[in-house]
Structures are given as structure tokens and as C-alpha cells.
């Protein structure tokens, strides 16, 4: 008899797991608390004149050199990819910084930018010594013995003579959009070379994005099992009954399945469990999300108010920059994604499309205010240890785990891969051609990160 798998969480991890399981012949039931699939990869519908335009608002782009499996998925689904230039504008009380080497702020920090380069070269060397032989650009290379796992970037930067002012004025305003927080002092140095290759502090970069909006990815992935997709289903209990599970949602609806894949946040998993083991309590209860330490980025305003930008630079920001960060006199940081400057499907619409986090000013022309509890997990040593130990829970008693708390950093490829690895450990084969050696190698590395030795095969 075909096994039925319940998947809790409809972000890319959960939909990825359900998609792989369904194409392998499993019956799936996919439960999502929100009214649409996508999780953080939300699609927003803007009013434009008498019509509308859809765009991404939070998950907006990705570093193409690293997203081997996610781009294989988009190829397979026939979703177009575009490469866009990505640049940052930072406004401080002393002036602005915009990666062009010209401004007074950049000149003030010129010696520290040189030290920053030395720091990256140093970490790159240490990583190269400890990491397994690197064959391609990968997010998944990892060595347990690398001391850079336990030393935060911040402390190493201070040792290299980089000031707190540089950290607060340059690093945090740019990377708040990477880590979805302003609290980054615990980020381990091991990821610094990766970070710099994705978002170099001193120069603009390029990233991939969907030609349309992320919704089409989720629509196309879930189309073959659309009847088994249950949105507006917040799962509140997962109970073991004989050899099966009863999944119950907040409205008391119940479903019976053989196995469960958890693809929601760790707190939600723990809350659903009837009698969690000590290890489940320890790992799921201690997994830290960005809003546990800094609530700044769990709330955002979708709007069209260009008055939030300084008048002098307004037109330039609207046409040339993807992310605008502003530090006020108190040191508080507001960050805005300029969707209309970057998204291929909306950049010619002629209306400003902005998403502001941690808004400090009054904002007009608000289209939506959205709360995003537990948006992504903290990148820290504590979460790395938890991620590494989740392997001892994987598959136990028919329960599997994927999503951000099972990955070393937050990212669409990482979450998608975690869903594929969970599906594979149930029995779904790796879904893409084995000819793409980089994608296959990433998949194997992700298995190493998520599973114990005896679970791995491809």
C-alpha cells in the first residue's frame, strides 16, 4: 500500500519535500498555516493604475553561483531566471555610503576596508586548511574542526583593528538584509568568505531572480497534488496512534498519515508534539530565531512612500539601488527593499514599490503591514550545534525535519535542499539529472550535514 506522508509547513522546504515525495509515488498531505504556499517567499500584488503587478517582497534574489539545485528546479518547472545588478545605499548621520568609493564615509573608513580585505584573506586561508577539498562554489562545505566555526566575525574584525563604527555603519546596514536582523555579533567567521563573495561590501554584485513572482514556482510544484494542499491549516497537534499519526489543525480537523515531515519552525514543531523526548525538547526548544534576539525584522510595511528617502538622493535610490538602510542619530536602523528598482516584472511599472523593516518614520501609501513571526533562524554557533544534532532525531518514530533550523544558514537553496534530503530519507530519489555534478555534490553534502552516516545514500 502507498505510504501517506503529512508535510507541515508550505515554504520551499515543505513544498520541496512534498513535490519530491509525490513524484516518487507517495501520497502527500501538505498543511500550511497561511492562506498561500510560499512561506517567506511571499508574492505581493501591487495596485498599478487600473491593473496590478505581482512581485516578490521578502525573498527577492539569490547568488546564482551557489544555487545549483534551486536553479535546476526552476529549469524543470520552466520558470524564467533573470540576473540583476544588486547594490546597497546606506544613509548615516554623517553622510552616505553606496559602494562606489566616492563618498566621505567610504574615505573615512578606507584603512578599515583594507583591513577587512586582510581579514577575509586570513579566514579564507584557515577555511582552506580545514575544509574538505573544494571542487566547486558550494554553500555546503563544512568542517567540524575549523576554529572559524566558533570565532565570531565581530571579534576577529576587532582583532584585525576594525572599529565598532565600521561594523555599525557599514557591515550591519548592508548585512541586515542578509541575516534579517541587526544583531550579528555572534555570526561565526567561517562564513565570511562566502558572505563577501555573495555581497561584497565595497562593490555592487549580481544575483538571480524570478522573471515573474515566486508564486509561480509554488503553483507549478504543487499542481500535481493540488487536491492535497491544505492552506489555512495551522497544525496544532501531531499524535502517534499505533503505527500512524493523527495530525490536527487549529479548527479541529484531523488527518491520518504514516509519516510526518516537519517543515515549519522549530517552536511550532515542539508545540505540536504530544510527548516530546528530552532530545526533541533540548534541540527544538533551544533553536533561536532572529526575533528571539531582535524583533526589528519580524514586521514589515509594504508601501509606495518615497518620502522616506532623503530628497537629495531620492531619484537615484529609486532607480539604482535594491536596498536602502538608514541609521538615525540614536543608532537605530531602518531598512527598505526597493522592489520597483530590481524586480524584472515590476521595474517598468512606473510606481514605487517599497518594503520597509523596522520603520522609524511615519509611512504613507501603505498597502499592507505584515507580521512574520520566526522569519528565519539566527546564524550562530548555538544554532550550528543544534543543526548538527538534529540528525539524531531524523526519521526517529517516523518523523523527519527540514527547513531553516536544519540548515547552516538561511537561504532558499538550503531550505529546498533540506526538504529534498528529508524526502530522500523517506524513499524519494534525488529528483534531478545526475549529470549536474555540482548539484549532486551539494545534495550529498547536505545529507552529510543532516543525517547520520547510516542514513546516507543517493
Ligand X SMILES: Cc1cc2nc3c(=O)[nH]c(=O)nc-3n(C[C@H](O)[C@H](O)[C@H](O)COP(=O)(O)OP(=O)(O)OC[C@H]3O[C@@H](n4cnc5c(N)ncnc54)[C@H](O)[C@@H]3O)c2cc1C
CB of 338 to ligand X, least distance (A): 13
By CB under 6 A, tell whether 180 contacts ligand X.
Answer: yes
By CB under 6 A, tell whether 442 contacts ligand X.
Answer: no
By CB under 6 A, tell whether 391 contacts ligand X.
Answer: no
In the list 5, 17, 28, 60, the residue contacting ligand X (rule: CB under 6 A) is 60
Q: In this structure, are residues 295 and 333 in contact, taking their beta carbons and an 8 Å threshold?
A: no
| C-alpha to C-alpha distances, 195 to 143, 151, 198, 387, nearest whole angstrom | 17, 15, 5, 20
By CB under 6 A, tell whether 191 contacts ligand X.
Answer: no
| C-alpha to C-alpha distances, 151 to 45, 48, 155, 266, 308, nearest whole angstrom | 43, 48, 7, 25, 37
By CB under 6 A, tell whether 61 contacts ligand X.
Answer: yes
CB of 128 to ligand X, least distance (A): 25
Q: In this structure, are residues 125 and 159 in contact, taking their beta carbons and an 8 Å threshold?
A: no
| C-alpha cell read off for 156 | 576577529
Report strand pairing: 254-257 vs 354-357.
unpaired
CB of 312 to ligand X, least distance (A): 28
| Interface map 196-215 toward ligand X (x if CB under 6 A) | --------------------
Please state, in angstroms and rounded to a whole number, the distance separating the CA atoms of residues 152 and 148.
8
# binding residues, ligand X (CB under 6 A):
34
By CB under 6 A, tell whether 41 contacts ligand X.
Answer: yes
In the list 32, 294, 305, 442, the residue contacting ligand X (rule: CB under 6 A) is 32
By CB under 6 A, tell whether 6 contacts ligand X.
Answer: no
| C-alpha cell read off for 177 | 538584509
The torsion defined by the Cα of 277, 260, 68 and 83, in degrees rounded to 10, comes to -110
Residues in CB range of 121: below 8 A, 6 or more apart = none
Residues in CB range of 385: below 8 A, 6 or more apart = none
CB of 112 to ligand X, least distance (A): 27
CB of 85 to ligand X, least distance (A): 15
CB of 115 to ligand X, least distance (A): 28
In the list 8, 261, 301, 423, the residue contacting ligand X (rule: CB under 6 A) is 8
| C-alpha to C-alpha distances, 445 to 140, 141, 238, nearest whole angstrom | 6, 7, 30
Please state, in angstroms and rounded to a whole number, the distance separating the CA atoms of residues 259 and 157.
46
In the list 376, 383, 394, 425, the residue contacting ligand X (rule: CB under 6 A) is 376
| Interface map 218-257 toward ligand X (x if CB under 6 A) | ----------------xx----------------------
Residues in CB range of 75: below 8 A, 6 or more apart = none
Write out the binding residues for ligand X, residues 266-305 only, by CB under 6 A.
Answer: 268
In the list 92, 169, 287, 415, the residue contacting ligand X (rule: CB under 6 A) is 415
Q: Where are the alpha helices (DSSP H) in 395-436?
A: 412-426
Share of the chain residues as helix, strand and coil, in percent rounded to the nearest 5:
40, 20, 35
In the list 265, 291, 326, 442, the residue contacting ligand X (rule: CB under 6 A) is 265
CB of 327 to ligand X, least distance (A): 19
Summarize as ranges the residues that interact with ligand X (CB under 6 A): 8-14, 31-34, 39-41, 58-62, 180, 234-235, 263-265, 268, 375-376, 403-404, 410-412, 415
Amino acid at each position: 500500500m502507498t505510504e501517506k506522508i503529512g508535510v507541515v509547513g508550505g515554504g520551499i522546504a515543505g513544498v520541496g519535500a512534498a513535490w519530491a515525495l509525490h513524484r516518487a509515488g507517495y501520497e502527500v498531505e501538505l498543511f500550511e498555516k497561511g492562506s498561500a504556499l510560499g512561506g517567506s517567499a511571499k508574492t505581493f500584488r501591487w495596485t498599478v493604475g487600473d491593473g496590478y503587478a505581482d512581485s516578490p517582497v521578502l525573498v527577492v534574489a539569490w547568488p546564482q553561483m551557489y544555487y545549483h539545485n534551486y536553479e535546476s528546479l526552476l529549469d524543470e518547472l520552466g520558470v524564467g531566471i533573470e540576473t540583476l545588478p544588486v547594490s546597497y545605499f546606506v544613509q548615516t548621520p554623517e553622510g552616505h555610503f553606496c559602494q562606489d568609493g566616492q563618498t566621505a564615509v567610504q574615505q573615512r573608513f578606507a584603512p578599515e576596508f583594507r583591513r577587512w580585505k586582510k581579514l577575509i584573506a586570513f579566514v579564507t586561508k584557515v577555511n582552506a586548511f580545514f575544509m574538505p577539498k573544494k571542487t566547486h562554489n558550494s554553500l555546503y562545505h563544512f568542517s567540524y574542526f575549523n576554529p572559524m566555526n566558533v570565532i565570531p566575525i565581530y571579534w576577529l574584525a576587532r582583532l584585525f583593528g576594525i572599529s565598532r563604527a565600521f561594523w555599525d555603519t557599514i557591515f550591519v546596514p548592508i548585512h541586515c538584509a542578509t541575516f534579517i536582523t541587526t544583531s550579528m555579533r555572534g555570526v561565526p567567521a567561517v562564513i565570511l568568505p562566502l558572505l563577501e563573495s555573495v555581497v561584497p561590501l565595497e562593490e555592487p554584485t549580481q544575483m538571480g531572480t524570478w522573471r515573474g513572482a515566486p508564486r509561480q514556482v509554488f503553483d507549478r510544484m504543487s499542481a500535481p497534488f493540488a487536491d492535497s494542499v491544505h492552506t489555512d491549516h495551522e497544525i496544532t497537534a501531531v499524535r502517534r496512534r499505533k503505527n500512524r499519526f493523527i495530525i490536527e489543525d487549529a479548527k479541529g480537523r484531523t488527518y491520518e498519515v504514516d509519516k510526518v515531515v516537519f517543515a515549519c519552525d522549530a517552536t511550532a514543531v515542539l508545540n505540536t508534539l504530544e510527548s516530546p523526548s528530552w532530545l526533541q525538547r533540548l534541540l527544538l526548544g533551544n533553536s533561536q530565531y532572529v526575533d528571539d534576539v531582535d524583533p526589528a525584522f519580524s514586521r514589515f510595511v509594504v508601501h509606495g512612500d518615497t518620502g522616506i528617502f532623503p530628497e537629495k538622493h531620492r531619484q537615484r535610490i529609486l532607480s539604482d539601488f535594491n536596498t536602502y538602510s538608514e541609521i538615525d542619530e540614536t543608532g537605530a536602523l531602518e531598512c527598505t527593499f526597493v522592489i520597483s528598482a530590481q524586480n524584472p516584472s515590476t521595474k517598468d511599472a512606473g510606481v514605487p514599490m517599497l518594503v520597509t523593516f523596522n520603520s522609524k518614520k511615519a509611512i504613507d501609501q501603505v498597502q499592507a503591514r505584515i507580521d512574520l513571526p520566526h522569519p528565519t533562524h539566527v546564524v550562530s554557533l548555538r544554532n550550528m550545534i543544534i543543526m548538527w544534532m538534529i540528525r539524531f532525531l531524523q526519521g526517529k518514530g517516523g518523523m523527519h525535519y527540514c527547513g531553516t533550523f536544519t540548515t547552516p544558514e538561511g537561504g532558499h537553496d538550503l531550505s529546498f535542499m533540506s526538504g529534498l534530503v528529508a524526502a530522500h530519507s523517506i524513499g524519494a530519489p534525488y529528483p534531478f539529472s545526475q549529470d549536474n555534478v555540482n548539484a549532486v555534490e551539494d545534495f550529498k553534502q547536505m545529507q552529510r550535514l543532516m543525517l547520520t552516516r547510516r542514513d546516507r545514500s543517493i
